[in-house]
Structure 1
Amino acid sequence: MTQQNDFDKILLAQSLNTSQTLFTTQVPGFEWSDGVSYELGMKFQSAKSGQVTAIRHWKAVNETGNHIGRIWSATGSILGSVTFSNETASGWQQQDLSTPVSILANTTYIVTVSCNSYFGVTNNALASPVVNGDLSSVADGNNSVFGSLNSFPTNSYQNSNYFRDIVFVVGNSLTKVSGDNQTGTAGSALANSFVVKATDSSGNPQSGVTVNFAITSGGGSVSSASAVTGNDGQASTVLTLGTTAGITNTVSATASDIGSVTFSASANPANTNAIYLENQKPGTTDWQIPQVGQSDIAGYATATSVNKGGSLPIKVSLAQAGNYTIDVYRLGYYGGQGGRLVLSSGQLNGITQPACNFDSSTRTVSCENWSTSYTLQVGNDWTSGLYIAKLTDQRSGSKSQVVFVVRHDSERSDILFQSSFNTLQAYNLSGGYSLYPEQSIGGQRAFKLSYDRPFAQHSTLSGSNPYNNIILSWEYNMVRWLESQSYDISYVTNVDVHANSSLLQQHNIFLSVGHDEYWSLEEFNSVQSNSINKAFFSANSVYWRVRFENSSTGVANRAMACYKDATDPVAPTNKFRSPENNKPESALKGNMYIGGRWQNFFFDGFDFVVKNSTHPYYANTNLNDGDKLSGLVGFEWDAINLNASPSGLVVLSESVQSQNFDQAELEGFPAGTDPRISQAVSFTSASGAKVFSTGSIQFMWGLDSEGVSGPREDTRIKQMVVNILADMGARPLTPGSGIIVP
């Protein structure tokens, strides 16, 4: 019988769906011998269960002697073998197995044929899967395989194809019919059954087949661990999900000698919240931009925040008139991606806006004279949070960002997260002036700042200047962690709390994060007098007093004044601890700003040293007094003021900066106070509110250190924060591994 006749028979058999081979017209690139006998093989799988009825191999022209073919399991057990007879001089050889070998769908096997000296080979031919019909080679970077003669081969060289093959006949199959990828409530039964179907090689249903259902991950139970297929070939079970939310539950369905399939289902918490549901949506990293807002395009929103269902005008200026786009993202966890695309504007026509107005008496730059470029319509289904509108100049590719918050004023949530927009504005050097002389033109700082101008900030942490990146340097990491745990959160800005103290009434915890340095007196008084619990995961916060003014067209709270001395003609906009204000920040949060280290400050820091480890906030952390948590204190830090400490104050850390520092802020402290010391504290205020303050700007990097040089996440800190928030009235729906929720 000729090789061509053999090949014609193979094609005919495959056309009749009776047998299949992986290789058809392929031939080796060359023949090779190094004088050594080998076991040469290939890993393969089938998409359907069935039987291997024969083994094939390509015989090199100079190859002689006997050849033995074998089918192996992935772990090296011989499942079947045959000695070839009546071989031709070269080319494809085929030998039937006396007993066909049954194989399961989507399971790896190895076919080998011995080689005495010469063999055909094509290098790198199996780097990618070869697929024919239901058969495929396995592209795992370690295929084909070779080894000592008559031994299980485990070596591989350049994913070479040694042209070992099988003849395969589809047998009975087990397939999924319905019920896969459901979502239900943790601890509850799914709405729909997992249904499988057993069929023969012609697709006819097979009755009387026993199917075993087993939970493989996520816990829970199945209504039937074993079921027999009916006349329609189907069997089913119902999964009751495990009690842990936020994970995937899997169930295998197996029919002996036929195959196995796996069903998946997701478990939602019994009581979901908007943050949990939001973070189930697909995320992206496209919100990031690699550089500080570029000169070709800039813009700002006409308010720091907008309520759900409202509208937000955005003003954009291009260096050259042309087309641009706006893509709006919400920041969160989203499986670690950090953001989600919410809206894309499509192509817009942009102009070069007029020069911004400048008030030389206060060095205030205001771009209120720009025209509105785009009005963002915020849907009623948008989740409260931190948002970024990414502006892209289509001509140059330049990008910049507009940062804003979406509120939900009627929403009741456990946590009210205040974003530090006042501090972001204070360091904003857009137009050449901020509240800092070293950042301002000619070393002359502004006394008033307008919110009607672009922010000079950007998205990535590495190598960035945190002064221009307040939200994304510190708040972002806290947001990622809180939302990964599915805490119930609403978001506002300093301006919102200043203007509407009633926002504090609907929440259990007020949260200040990172660098929350600039507050108005109205905000200070509202937060202090309210019985809402307060958690300051921040330092240098509530340091400077500011006041707000209307814009030139009468829009409230669009200008922020901070003279930083007693010369403000309206109110003493200087330090809260100053004699004119006599409201030291420690009266609100228990500690107050004392020191900072700015040289290499962004990824620098010193250790958080535990004190009073028997306090309930340290429960289940296994921390003891004196234990150190690396790199969580800096770049500015707070300490207790013995002259102005609330009663009942408990010191929870006492950390000493051993390196040089750049500023010691000792105003209001007793003589002899050591500015190197940082202290975290807790106490209960006169209003009955529980208060915690970390005394460090970068404490939250112990929760999430995405983008931070030198990761410093620590499960013990996560447990500590879970304890603090639970004590104040907020618990995670999806706590991290190993976390115990009080």
Structure 2
Amino acid sequence: MTTPNRSTPNRREVIKSVSAISAMGALSSSVMADDRDAAAAGEAAGQSAPSLIREENAKPGSRDWQLTRVRLDSRDSVRAAKIEGYCSRQSVAAGESIDIMVSTDPAQEYVIEIFRTGYYGGRGARLMTKLGPFDGIVQPTPRRGEKRLRECTWAPAVTLTIPDDWPSGVYLGRLTTTTDSTGFGYWQNYVVFIVRDDRPADILLQCSDNTWQAYNQWPDNDSVYTHPQGNQGPWADVSFDRPYGMYPQIFENPQTIGSGEWLCFEFPLAYWLEKHGYDVTYCSNSDMLTPDRGLKCKTFISNGHDEYWDIRQYHSVVQLRDAGVSLMFLSGNSVCWVSPFRASAHGRDNRILFRGGPYGGDHKWAELREQQHGPFPHRGPDEGYLMGSRNVEPVNGGGDWVCASPDHWIFEGTGMKQDEAIPGLIGWEYHGDPPSDIAGLEIVGTGTALQGGVNPQTWTSTIYPGPHGNFVFNASTIWWCQGLASPPGHWLPWSHWSRPHGPDDRVQQITHNLLRRAIGKGG
């Protein structure tokens, strides 16, 4: 392990600090304490803890967890080098350690506040601990390596051991300078990581962090889309060992600096699930290379913009379906590109990926991709036979989500009628062209999306039965979760002259219907 800088506390000090903050944030009620102890005992025995999320969200949220002062290096940059950082792992379990790497330019003092994102009475996050202050140092910008790889080898600022009482969730570390040589005060940025667990749960929510990294352009126009040979080939590698720059597509949201696409497209779902007390646990794309985690849950959710999957993820999720786990693709452009992982320069597994080739099998979409961009080293199966609907050409655009089967059980309680539209919910990418030979497949929504306001494409939302009373639902839009909630730190996106309108009671009711059927509480 790289030695921390001179002001970094040792591991014993970090654990003591984290434990103290966790104790301060605990509920005082002895009844709630007894419930937590019972839940912990249940987890240790491999049992579910269905009240865990309700208990966690009963704790006080933070009024101040968002980024307030951010500064990009230039108007055309995605980088905020005043302070920036990254984590040594995509996900970490309680009792395990994660390194947080930080650079400040110029060198200056800073602190790190760790927040868990959730509902928390509408505040959206809870402070878990505060670390520092630390003496910042300027860490080197890596040169472009083979396949334009940018891989940082920064010294860690701190090694954080995750306390046993930190629930699974998506965690943001807010980096804040305490001094600034320009005289303009402090600057901020995020780091992001997932805390996972291994307990049985009703819902496993997969974050789309492979896609966050594929689009990440840090430090200087460096992503899988920015190679001089073109933006769709297998030519560029990207590493998780680097900060997240500001999200570079469709809208400029300063809250995305350092946080990937979590606050863009995915947080509204987590916020809504936790608001309603659903028993949810979280994982990264890299946690789904085997089916083990998902087999302990009743439903698996693909969330937001879930484009890049290692082939092992695909086979894992097929096994979940075949074992009776319901699948919900509340996402768009999903399972689109085979993205093989490899280890980092430090030997850490699953830290580098690239666009290895299209999913699609012999489907015309995959063939078109290879005709346009040349041969790829990998080809994946036809994702339509997993999701019920495929990636199509063009895959991006905007439109309304239109009801095609109002008598279907997913619409119970919505009052929706044939051809009734939910404005702007299709975007910014979607699915279509469902396979015709999946037994029991039903089209529950369909309509037209327009690319750039002109090029039409048919999108299709589907559902089909699994082999054990389970089902596979495909919402066919990245923006489905925009119809569930609009939490703090989240901005409504827009693209292709179309935009979602925000929370909609019909989207909420459809999602309740799906989840209650999936976890055995309705239908």
TM over 0.5, yes or no? yes
| Higher relative helix content | 2
Structure ID, larger Rg: 1
In the alignment, is the contact (CA less than 8 A) between 1:434 and 1:440 conserved in 2?
no
In structure 2, the CA distance between the partners of 1:444 and 1:534, relative to structure 1 (3 Å rule), is closer
Q: What is the DSSP-based 3-state SS (H/G/I as helix, E as strand, rest coil) of the residue aligned with 2:477?
A: coil
Aligned to 2:81: 295
In the alignment, is the contact (CA less than 8 A) between 1:436 and 1:445 conserved in 2?
no
In the alignment, is the contact (CA less than 8 A) between 1:364 and 1:447 conserved in 2?
yes
The structure 2 residue matched to 1:490, chosen from 253, 270, 281, is 281
In structure 2, the CA distance between the partners of 1:577 and 1:719, relative to structure 1 (3 Å rule), is farther
The structure 1 residue matched to 2:382, chosen from 578, 584, 602, is 584
Aligned to 2:120: 334
In the alignment, is the contact (CA less than 8 A) between 1:415 and 1:730 conserved in 2?
no
Aligned to 1:699: 480
Q: CA deviation at 1:296?
A: 0.7
Aligned to 2:17: none
Cα distance in 2 for residues equivalent to 1:372 and 1:484 = 35
In the alignment, is the contact (CA less than 8 A) between 2:338 and 2:356 conserved in 1?
no
- In structure 2, give the amino acid aligned to 1:696: T
Cα distance in 1 for residues equivalent to 2:366 and 2:282 = 26
In structure 2, the CA distance between the partners of 1:445 and 1:356, relative to structure 1 (3 Å rule), is farther
In structure 2, the CA distance between the partners of 1:323 and 1:441, relative to structure 1 (3 Å rule), is farther
In structure 2, the CA distance between the partners of 1:441 and 1:533, relative to structure 1 (3 Å rule), is closer
Q: CA deviation at 1:444?
A: 10
The structure 2 residue matched to 1:421, chosen from 202, 209, 218, is 209
Q: CA deviation at 1:285?
A: 4.4
Q: What is the DSSP-based 3-state SS (H/G/I as helix, E as strand, rest coil) of the residue aligned with 1:478?
A: helix
Cα distance in 2 for residues equivalent to 1:441 and 1:321 = 37
Give the alignment's TM-score, normalised by structure 1: 0.55
Cα distance in 2 for residues equivalent to 1:576 and 1:488 = 41
Q: 1:171-186, aligned counterparts within 5 Å? A: none
Cα distance in 2 for residues equivalent to 1:444 and 1:528 = 27
Query: Is 1:286 aligned to 2:64, yes or no?
Result: yes
Cα distance in 2 for residues equivalent to 1:576 and 1:347 = 54
Matched residue count: 439
Which gives a bigger RCO, structure 1 or 2 (Cα 8 Å, sep 6+)?
2
Aligned to 2:163: 379
In the alignment, is the contact (CA less than 8 A) between 2:239 and 2:351 conserved in 1?
yes
Q: What is the DSSP-based 3-state SS (H/G/I as helix, E as strand, rest coil) of the residue aligned with 1:501?
A: coil
Q: 1:432-447, aligned counterparts within 5 Å? A: 432=220, 433-437=222-226, 447=236
Aligned to 2:51: 273
Q: 1:256-271, aligned counterparts within 5 Å? A: none
Q: CA deviation at 1:449?
A: 1.1
Cα distance in 1 for residues equivalent to 2:187 and 2:203 = 36
Q: CA deviation at 1:612?
A: 1.2
In structure 2, the CA distance between the partners of 1:678 and 1:399, relative to structure 1 (3 Å rule), is same
In the alignment, is the contact (CA less than 8 A) between 1:430 and 1:453 conserved in 2?
yes
Q: 1:385-424, aligned counterparts within 5 Å? A: 385-396=169-180, 397-409=186-198, 411-424=199-212
Q: CA deviation at 1:662?
A: 7.4
| Higher relative strand content | 1
Cα distance in 1 for residues equivalent to 2:170 and 2:520 = 20
Cα distance in 2 for residues equivalent to 1:485 and 1:183 = 24
Aligned to 1:448: 237
Q: What is the DSSP-based 3-state SS (H/G/I as helix, E as strand, rest coil) of the residue aligned with 2:242?
A: coil
In the alignment, is the contact (CA less than 8 A) between 1:519 and 1:543 conserved in 2?
yes
In structure 2, the CA distance between the partners of 1:483 and 1:447, relative to structure 1 (3 Å rule), is same
Cα distance in 2 for residues equivalent to 1:690 and 1:333 = 28
1:176-225 residue CA offsets vs partner (Å, 9 max, x unmatched) = xxxxx98979xxxxxxxxxxxxxxxxxxxxxxxxxxxxxxxxxxxxxxxx
Aligned to 1:480: 271
In the alignment, is the contact (CA less than 8 A) between 1:576 and 1:583 conserved in 2?
no
Q: What is the DSSP-based 3-state SS (H/G/I as helix, E as strand, rest coil) of the residue aligned with 2:510?
A: helix
Q: CA deviation at 1:576?
A: 10
In structure 2, the CA distance between the partners of 1:586 and 1:435, relative to structure 1 (3 Å rule), is same
Q: 1:200-239, aligned counterparts within 5 Å? A: none
Q: CA deviation at 1:441?
A: 12
Q: CA deviation at 1:624?
A: 1.6
Cα distance in 1 for residues equivalent to 2:406 and 2:30 = 41
Cα distance in 1 for residues equivalent to 2:316 and 2:163 = 30
Q: What is the DSSP-based 3-state SS (H/G/I as helix, E as strand, rest coil) of the residue aligned with 1:351?
A: coil
In structure 2, the CA distance between the partners of 1:522 and 1:662, relative to structure 1 (3 Å rule), is farther
Cα distance in 2 for residues equivalent to 1:687 and 1:529 = 12
Cα distance in 2 for residues equivalent to 1:520 and 1:658 = 30
Cα distance in 2 for residues equivalent to 1:297 and 1:524 = 37
The structure 1 residue matched to 2:140, chosen from 354, 359, 362, is 354
Q: 1:85-100, aligned counterparts within 5 Å? A: none
Q: CA deviation at 1:424?
A: 0.4
Q: What is the DSSP-based 3-state SS (H/G/I as helix, E as strand, rest coil) of the residue aligned with 2:243?
A: coil
What is the root-mean-square deviation of aligned Cα atoms in Å? Answer: 3.2
Q: What is the DSSP-based 3-state SS (H/G/I as helix, E as strand, rest coil) of the residue aligned with 1:491?
A: strand
In the alignment, is the contact (CA less than 8 A) between 1:544 and 1:576 conserved in 2?
no
In the alignment, is the contact (CA less than 8 A) between 1:549 and 1:561 conserved in 2?
no
Cα distance in 2 for residues equivalent to 1:524 and 1:585 = 8
In structure 2, the CA distance between the partners of 1:435 and 1:658, relative to structure 1 (3 Å rule), is closer
- In structure 1, give the amino acid aligned to 2:485: D
Q: CA deviation at 1:561?
A: 2.4
1:235-281 residue CA offsets vs partner (Å, 9 max, x unmatched) = xxxxxxxxxxxxxxxxxxxxxxxxxxxxxxxxxxxx95111111111
Cα distance in 2 for residues equivalent to 1:439 and 1:593 = 25
Q: CA deviation at 1:631?
A: 1.8
The structure 2 residue matched to 1:321, chosen from 107, 132, 141, is 107
In the alignment, is the contact (CA less than 8 A) between 2:234 and 2:357 conserved in 1?
no
5+ long unaligned stretches in structure 2: 1-27, 33-48, 73-78, 181-185, 360-364, 371-377, 494-499
Q: What is the DSSP-based 3-state SS (H/G/I as helix, E as strand, rest coil) of the residue aligned with 2:423?
A: strand
Cα distance in 1 for residues equivalent to 2:513 and 2:230 = 47
In the alignment, is the contact (CA less than 8 A) between 1:307 and 1:407 conserved in 2?
yes
Cα distance in 1 for residues equivalent to 2:214 and 2:166 = 29
Q: What is the DSSP-based 3-state SS (H/G/I as helix, E as strand, rest coil) of the residue aligned with 1:721?
A: helix
Aligned to 2:312: 522
Aligned to 1:561: 354
- In structure 2, give the amino acid aligned to 1:377: T
Q: CA deviation at 1:354?
A: 2.6
Q: CA deviation at 1:309?
A: 2.1
Q: CA deviation at 1:563?
A: 4.4
Cα distance in 2 for residues equivalent to 1:444 and 1:312 = 33
Q: What is the DSSP-based 3-state SS (H/G/I as helix, E as strand, rest coil) of the residue aligned with 1:592?
A: coil
Aligned to 2:298: 508
1:623-675 residue CA offsets vs partner (Å, 9 max, x unmatched) = 121111122111111113346x5222100011223674577xxxxxxxxxxx5
In the alignment, is the contact (CA less than 8 A) between 2:81 and 2:103 conserved in 1?
no
- In structure 2, give the amino acid aligned to 1:413: A
- In structure 1, give the amino acid aligned to 2:201: S
Cα distance in 1 for residues equivalent to 2:52 and 2:357 = 41
Deviates more, 1:462-471 or 1:372-381: 462-471
